[in-house]
Chains A and B, each alone.
Chain A
Amino acid sequence: MSEITDPRDELIEHLPAMRAFALSLTRNGATADDLVQDALVKAWDNLDKFEPGTNMRAWLFTILRNTYYSLHRKRKREVEDPDGVLASHLSEKPHHDGRLALEDFKTAFAELTDEQREALILVGAEGFSYEEAAATCGCAVGTIKSRVNRARARLAELMHLDDTDDLEMTDATTLAGLSGASTA
């Protein structure tokens, strides 16, 4: 066999993506990097369980999200204060050329549930197949699909993209209250 690459050497290539995924989960830079650090140590210690030739990024993301959820459960609401994103308000209307203001997008994204954020990132940003995303999140393919759909619908709603104009309110808390009622 020709040179078999040591998975340890491969880890570093996935670091930027791990940080991005962690940030989308935690919505806070410092917490995200702590999470990456924990996940990295875990991945390193368990590298013998990684099957060479399979998707290392998906494997790392699985570790990362498991780490996040166990931490999250422990800390409960303490980590719920992202970099002020929730506190900032959405601007009143989308730009008339239909382009979204990036900051508004970030704010809206931060309002999604954990499950919606991770599903959307994996499928929409990382380009995972629904199957890969489902495996990474340990859930059914249909679950991922509906999370992605709900995440997109929610973003559209928060960004006022749902071409109805009845959601003219600008107060983020009002919006949040509304959404709570509509998710049932």
Chain B
Amino acid sequence: MEEQIDANLRRVYADTVQEEVPERFLKLLDELREKGKAVPDSEADS
């Protein structure tokens, strides 16, 4: 019974994991990266 449950669980989970990552997240990561470049922490500005 436990095996049946876990097998289904993994199947449902795998279906979601295999979905392609939506564009918005790739964009978000790009934006975060750009933001990081624009503000190089403490050493910029005085």
The residues of A with any CB-CB pair to B shorter than 8 Å are 8, 11-12, 15-17, 19-20, 23-24, 33, 36-37, 40-41, 44, 98-100, 102, 105-106, 109, 120-121, 124-126, 152, 155-156, 159, 161-162
Contacts and interface: CB of A to CB of B under 8 A. Distances in A.
Given A19-B16, A37-B25, A152-B5, A125 B10 contact: yes
Q: Chain B contact residues: over half helix, strand or loop, or mixed?
A: helix
B17 A40 contact: no
B17 A17 contact: yes
A37 B21 CA distance: 12
Given A20-B16, A44-B32, A161-B1, A102 B8 contact: yes
Pairs of residues from A and B, 7 with the lowest C-beta to C-beta distance, nearest first: A125-B13, A20-B16, A105-B8, A16-B17, A124-B6, A20-B17, A124-B9
B9 to A, nearest CB: 5
Interface in B1-31: 1-2, 4-6, 8-14, 16-19, 21-22, 24-26, 28-29
A98 B4 contact: yes
Contacts of A44: 29, 32
A106 B32 contact: no
B41 to A, nearest CB: 10
Contacts of B28: 37, 40-41
A159 B28 CA distance: 40
A98 B16 CA distance: 24
B24 A37 contact: yes
B16 A155 contact: no
Contact of B25 (A17, A36, A102, A162): A36
Nearest to B2: A152
Contacts of A36: 25
A40 B29 contact: yes
